[in-house]
Structure 1
Amino acid sequence: MTNIAFIKAKSGLGDELGRRLTDLVEPSREEAGCINYDLHRSETDPDLWCVYENCCTAEDLAQHFDLPHMQTFAAEVPRLVEGDLDLRRFRMVSSPAW
C-alpha cells in the first residue's frame, strides 16, 4: 500500500512544517509494517512538501495514522498547513524492482 501526501505550508511556515515532517521520518520508519517513508520538498515552491510511504498492508497504513507521533502532527496541521492535506493511496500493479 502506497500513500503519497502533498502538504502545503501556510505562507512563511514552510521551514517549520519541514521540521515537523522531518520529526515523523524516523519513528515512521521504525513501524513494523513500514517499507519506506521519505520526505521531499518542492524545488519550485518551498512551502510544498511531499511524503512518499509504502506499507506492507492497508492495515499497517491505517495503524500508522493512529500512532502518537502522527496524532501529535495531526494536531499541528491547522496551524501549519494551508487548506486540506492531499492524501492519495495507491496499490502497486507492477512487480517490485528488488
Structure 2
Amino acid sequence: MPRQAPVSHLALIRARNGQAEQVGKQLNLLLQPARKALGCLDYQLYRSPAQPQLWVVQGVWTGLQEMEAHFNSEPMQILEVLVANRTVSEMRFHTFEDVSQLADELASYL
C-alpha cells in the first residue's frame, strides 16, 4: 500500500485596520492545540513585516483526514469568531499536497 503524502494548508488572514494585534492574539491560541493534534507535522503563525495586518497560518499534516479533523476541531472556532466579530477583512484558505516524493520517484526512473 503506498504511503499517504503529507498535505498542508495555508490561511491568509487580513485584520481590519486597528485590529491586527487582537487578531494575532487569537491566532496564537491555535498553535498549541494544533501542534498536539494527531497527524500534525508542523504548525506556524507568520506576520508580514511589510503589511502588519496580514497573518499567515500554515499547517502540515500526515494526511487529508488529519487536516480535516483539525479544521473541524473546537480551537478552529476562533476563526469563526474573528469573522463574526468583524475583526478580519479577508480570510482565504488553500490546501496543498506534497508532490516532492513523486518527483523523487520519477527521477529514479530516469
TM-score by length of structure 1 reads 0.89
Partner of 1:81: 88
Contiguous gaps of at least 5 residues in structure 1 = none
Establish whether residue 18 from structure 1 lines up as the match of residue 24 from structure 2: yes
Q: Give the CA deviation at 1:75.
A: 2.5
Runs of 4+ in 1 over 3 A off after TM superposition: none
Of 29, 33, 40, which aligns to 1:27? 33
Of 76, 80, 85, which aligns to 1:70? 76
Other structure's SS at 1:82 match: strand
Q: Give the CA deviation at 1:72.
A: 3.6
Contiguous gaps of at least 5 residues in structure 2 = 1-6, 102-110
Q: Counterpart of 1:82 in structure 2: which amino acid?
A: S
Q: Give the CA deviation at 1:73.
A: 3.3
Quote the RMSD (CA, aligned, Å). Answer: 1.1
Aligned residues: 94
